[in-house]
Amino acid sequence: MIISHDCKFIFVRNVKTASSSIAACITETLQACNLHNTLYSEVEYEYNTIKKYCNPIEIIPTRQVNFLKKTIIFDQHIPMYRIQQSFKPCILNNYTKIAGLRNPWDTYVSAYAWLVRQNIITATFEQWMDEQKKKTAFARFIRPRHRSLTGELIVDKILKFEDIQNEINKLFLSFNLPPRTLPKHKINPNSHTIYKDILTRQSDIDFIAEEYKQDIKIFNYTY
Protein backbone atom coordinates (compact mmCIF):
# COMPACT_ATOMS: atom_id res chain seq x y z
CA MET A 1 0.00 0.00 0.00
CA ILE A 2 1.12 3.51 -0.83
CA ILE A 3 -0.98 6.62 -0.19
CA SER A 4 0.30 9.86 -1.70
CA HIS A 5 -1.35 12.92 -0.20
CA ASP A 6 0.46 15.17 -2.67
CA CYS A 7 -0.81 13.33 -5.76
CA LYS A 8 -3.95 12.07 -4.08
CA PHE A 9 -3.82 8.40 -4.95
CA ILE A 10 -3.90 5.03 -3.19
CA PHE A 11 -1.94 2.11 -4.62
CA VAL A 12 -3.18 -1.34 -3.57
CA ARG A 13 -0.80 -4.26 -4.01
CA ASN A 14 -2.29 -7.38 -5.57
CA VAL A 15 0.10 -10.32 -5.32
CA LYS A 16 2.20 -11.36 -8.34
CA THR A 17 1.28 -8.31 -10.42
CA ALA A 18 4.72 -6.62 -10.33
CA SER A 19 3.52 -4.79 -7.21
CA SER A 20 7.03 -4.65 -5.69
CA SER A 21 8.40 -3.06 -8.87
CA ILE A 22 5.47 -0.66 -9.12
CA ALA A 23 5.81 0.34 -5.45
CA ALA A 24 9.55 0.94 -5.89
CA CYS A 25 8.93 2.97 -9.03
CA ILE A 26 6.30 5.12 -7.29
CA THR A 27 8.47 5.58 -4.19
CA GLU A 28 11.58 6.57 -6.16
CA THR A 29 9.60 9.02 -8.28
CA LEU A 30 7.82 10.68 -5.34
CA GLN A 31 11.10 11.06 -3.46
CA ALA A 32 12.88 12.44 -6.52
CA CYS A 33 10.11 15.02 -6.86
CA ASN A 34 10.30 15.89 -3.13
CA LEU A 35 6.75 14.67 -2.62
CA HIS A 36 7.22 13.28 0.87
CA ASN A 37 3.67 13.57 2.20
CA THR A 38 3.15 9.84 1.73
CA LEU A 39 2.09 6.82 3.78
CA TYR A 40 3.83 3.50 3.14
CA SER A 41 3.12 -0.04 4.29
CA GLU A 42 5.56 -1.85 6.59
CA VAL A 43 6.50 1.47 8.25
CA GLU A 44 5.62 2.21 11.88
CA TYR A 45 3.68 5.46 12.26
CA GLU A 46 2.62 7.27 15.40
CA TYR A 47 -1.14 7.54 15.36
CA ASN A 48 -1.02 11.23 16.26
CA THR A 49 0.81 11.96 13.01
CA ILE A 50 -1.83 10.34 10.79
CA LYS A 51 -5.05 10.58 12.81
CA LYS A 52 -6.43 13.33 10.56
CA TYR A 53 -6.59 10.70 7.82
CA CYS A 54 -7.54 7.61 9.83
CA ASN A 55 -10.51 6.34 11.75
CA PRO A 56 -10.06 5.85 15.54
CA ILE A 57 -7.16 3.53 16.26
CA GLU A 58 -9.42 1.08 18.06
CA ILE A 59 -11.21 0.10 14.84
CA ILE A 60 -8.37 0.17 12.31
CA PRO A 61 -7.81 -3.33 10.83
CA THR A 62 -4.08 -3.40 10.00
CA ARG A 63 -1.12 -5.73 10.24
CA GLN A 64 -0.10 -4.31 13.60
CA VAL A 65 -1.53 -1.78 16.03
CA ASN A 66 0.39 -1.09 19.23
CA PHE A 67 -2.23 0.39 21.51
CA LEU A 68 0.30 1.13 24.26
CA LYS A 69 2.61 3.14 21.98
CA LYS A 70 -0.30 4.26 19.77
CA THR A 71 1.54 3.21 16.63
CA ILE A 72 0.32 1.57 13.41
CA ILE A 73 1.95 -0.59 10.74
CA PHE A 74 -0.02 -1.17 7.54
CA ASP A 75 0.34 -4.51 5.77
CA GLN A 76 1.92 -4.14 2.32
CA HIS A 77 -0.88 -6.23 0.79
CA ILE A 78 -3.76 -4.71 2.76
CA PRO A 79 -6.88 -5.05 0.55
CA MET A 80 -8.89 -2.05 -0.55
CA TYR A 81 -11.91 -2.96 1.55
CA ARG A 82 -9.74 -2.81 4.70
CA ILE A 83 -8.33 0.55 3.62
CA GLN A 84 -11.94 1.68 3.39
CA GLN A 85 -12.38 0.62 7.02
CA SER A 86 -9.18 2.37 8.13
CA PHE A 87 -9.35 5.74 6.42
CA LYS A 88 -11.77 8.64 6.52
CA PRO A 89 -14.06 9.63 3.62
CA CYS A 90 -11.86 12.66 2.87
CA ILE A 91 -9.27 10.17 1.61
CA LEU A 92 -11.52 7.54 0.09
CA ASN A 93 -13.78 9.94 -1.80
CA ASN A 94 -11.08 12.22 -3.20
CA TYR A 95 -8.14 9.93 -3.95
CA THR A 96 -7.68 7.81 -7.07
CA LYS A 97 -7.52 4.14 -6.11
CA ILE A 98 -5.09 2.04 -8.19
CA ALA A 99 -4.23 -1.67 -8.37
CA GLY A 100 -2.27 -4.00 -10.61
CA LEU A 101 -3.88 -6.97 -12.31
CA ARG A 102 -2.58 -10.04 -14.13
CA ASN A 103 -4.13 -12.86 -16.12
CA PRO A 104 -5.74 -14.82 -13.24
CA TRP A 105 -4.53 -18.24 -14.40
CA ASP A 106 -1.00 -16.91 -14.77
CA THR A 107 -1.30 -15.27 -11.33
CA TYR A 108 -2.01 -18.57 -9.61
CA VAL A 109 0.92 -20.32 -11.26
CA SER A 110 3.25 -17.42 -10.41
CA ALA A 111 2.04 -17.35 -6.79
CA TYR A 112 2.63 -21.07 -6.44
CA ALA A 113 6.15 -20.77 -7.88
CA TRP A 114 6.98 -17.94 -5.45
CA LEU A 115 5.75 -19.91 -2.43
CA VAL A 116 7.89 -22.88 -3.48
CA ARG A 117 10.98 -20.68 -3.99
CA GLN A 118 10.49 -19.20 -0.52
CA ASN A 119 10.24 -22.72 0.97
CA ILE A 120 6.81 -21.85 2.31
CA ILE A 121 5.17 -24.88 0.71
CA THR A 122 6.35 -28.24 -0.62
CA ALA A 123 3.05 -29.38 -2.14
CA THR A 124 2.57 -30.12 -5.81
CA PHE A 125 0.65 -27.54 -7.81
CA GLU A 126 -2.46 -29.75 -7.82
CA GLN A 127 -2.27 -30.24 -4.03
CA TRP A 128 -1.88 -26.51 -3.54
CA MET A 129 -4.86 -25.80 -5.79
CA ASP A 130 -6.95 -28.24 -3.73
CA GLU A 131 -6.16 -26.08 -0.70
CA GLN A 132 -7.18 -22.94 -2.58
CA LYS A 133 -10.58 -24.47 -3.22
CA LYS A 134 -11.11 -24.91 0.53
CA LYS A 135 -10.74 -21.12 0.87
CA THR A 136 -8.78 -21.40 4.10
CA ALA A 137 -7.04 -18.45 5.74
CA PHE A 138 -3.81 -19.31 3.92
CA ALA A 139 -5.65 -19.41 0.61
CA ARG A 140 -6.56 -15.75 1.09
CA PHE A 141 -2.94 -14.91 0.19
CA ILE A 142 -4.02 -14.72 -3.44
CA ARG A 143 -7.41 -13.06 -3.01
CA PRO A 144 -8.10 -9.97 -5.15
CA ARG A 145 -7.21 -6.84 -3.16
CA HIS A 146 -9.06 -4.57 -5.59
CA ARG A 147 -12.51 -5.99 -4.90
CA SER A 148 -14.92 -5.93 -1.97
CA LEU A 149 -15.85 -9.07 -0.07
CA THR A 150 -18.90 -9.34 -2.32
CA GLY A 151 -16.81 -9.05 -5.49
CA GLU A 152 -17.48 -5.40 -6.36
CA LEU A 153 -14.67 -3.53 -8.13
CA ILE A 154 -13.61 -0.82 -5.67
CA VAL A 155 -10.62 0.79 -7.39
CA ASP A 156 -10.59 3.43 -10.13
CA LYS A 157 -7.58 2.38 -12.22
CA ILE A 158 -6.22 -1.03 -13.15
CA LEU A 159 -2.61 -1.47 -14.29
CA LYS A 160 -2.40 -4.58 -16.46
CA PHE A 161 0.72 -6.64 -15.82
CA GLU A 162 0.95 -7.68 -19.46
CA ASP A 163 1.67 -4.08 -20.54
CA ILE A 164 2.97 -2.71 -17.27
CA GLN A 165 5.57 -0.19 -18.52
CA ASN A 166 3.02 1.54 -20.74
CA GLU A 167 0.50 1.44 -17.91
CA ILE A 168 3.02 3.13 -15.58
CA ASN A 169 3.81 5.74 -18.22
CA LYS A 170 0.13 6.65 -18.57
CA LEU A 171 -0.39 6.65 -14.81
CA PHE A 172 2.54 8.96 -14.13
CA LEU A 173 1.46 11.29 -16.92
CA SER A 174 -1.99 11.58 -15.36
CA PHE A 175 -0.39 12.77 -12.08
CA ASN A 176 2.15 15.04 -13.79
CA LEU A 177 5.01 12.84 -12.63
CA PRO A 178 8.14 12.33 -14.76
CA PRO A 179 8.45 9.04 -16.68
CA ARG A 180 10.51 6.30 -15.08
CA THR A 181 11.56 2.84 -16.18
CA LEU A 182 10.04 0.17 -14.00
CA PRO A 183 12.74 -1.50 -11.88
CA LYS A 184 12.89 -5.28 -11.73
CA HIS A 185 12.08 -6.67 -8.30
CA LYS A 186 11.49 -10.29 -7.25
CA ILE A 187 12.15 -11.63 -10.73
CA ASN A 188 11.13 -15.26 -11.14
CA PRO A 189 14.02 -17.22 -12.73
CA ASN A 190 11.35 -19.41 -14.33
CA SER A 191 9.23 -16.50 -15.54
CA HIS A 192 9.52 -17.83 -19.07
CA THR A 193 7.42 -20.84 -18.01
CA ILE A 194 4.06 -20.90 -19.77
CA TYR A 195 1.32 -21.17 -17.16
CA LYS A 196 -0.63 -23.57 -19.38
CA ASP A 197 2.19 -26.09 -18.97
CA ILE A 198 1.57 -26.14 -15.21
CA LEU A 199 -2.15 -25.44 -14.99
CA THR A 200 -3.69 -28.36 -16.86
CA ARG A 201 -6.42 -29.78 -14.63
CA GLN A 202 -9.84 -28.60 -15.81
CA SER A 203 -11.25 -28.30 -12.30
CA ASP A 204 -8.42 -25.88 -11.42
CA ILE A 205 -8.96 -23.85 -14.59
CA ASP A 206 -12.68 -23.61 -13.82
CA PHE A 207 -12.11 -22.67 -10.17
CA ILE A 208 -9.88 -19.73 -11.11
CA ALA A 209 -12.35 -18.66 -13.79
CA GLU A 210 -15.09 -18.50 -11.17
CA GLU A 211 -12.93 -16.69 -8.60
CA TYR A 212 -11.97 -13.99 -11.11
CA LYS A 213 -15.02 -14.02 -13.33
CA GLN A 214 -15.61 -10.25 -13.11
CA ASP A 215 -12.02 -9.41 -14.03
CA ILE A 216 -11.95 -11.97 -16.82
CA LYS A 217 -15.09 -10.43 -18.32
CA ILE A 218 -14.19 -6.75 -17.84
CA PHE A 219 -10.53 -6.98 -18.84
CA ASN A 220 -10.90 -9.64 -21.55
CA TYR A 221 -8.64 -12.27 -20.05
CA THR A 222 -8.69 -15.78 -21.50
CA TYR A 223 -7.11 -19.03 -20.48
pLDDT of 158-198, one tens digit each?
A: 999 999 999 999 999 999 999 999 987 666 655 557 899 99
Write down the mean pLDDT value for the chain: 91
Q: What residues pair up with 97 in beta bridges, in sequence order?
A: 10
Between the two ends of the chain, the Cα-to-Cα distance in Å is 29
Sheet with 9-12: list strands edge to edge: 38-40, 2-4, 9-12, 96-101, 157-160
Predicted TM-score (pTM) of this structure: 0.91
In a domain, 157, yes or no: yes
Give 49-71 pLDDT, tens digit per residue: 999 999 998 888 888 899 999 99
In a domain, 223, yes or no: no
The CATH number that applies at residue 16 is: 3.40.50
What is the number of structural domains in the chain? 1
More confident residue, 85 or 185: 85
In a domain, 35, yes or no: yes
Band (134; pLDDT cuts 50, 70, 90): confident
In a domain, 146, yes or no: yes
Residue range(s) defining the domain that contains residue 170: 2-218
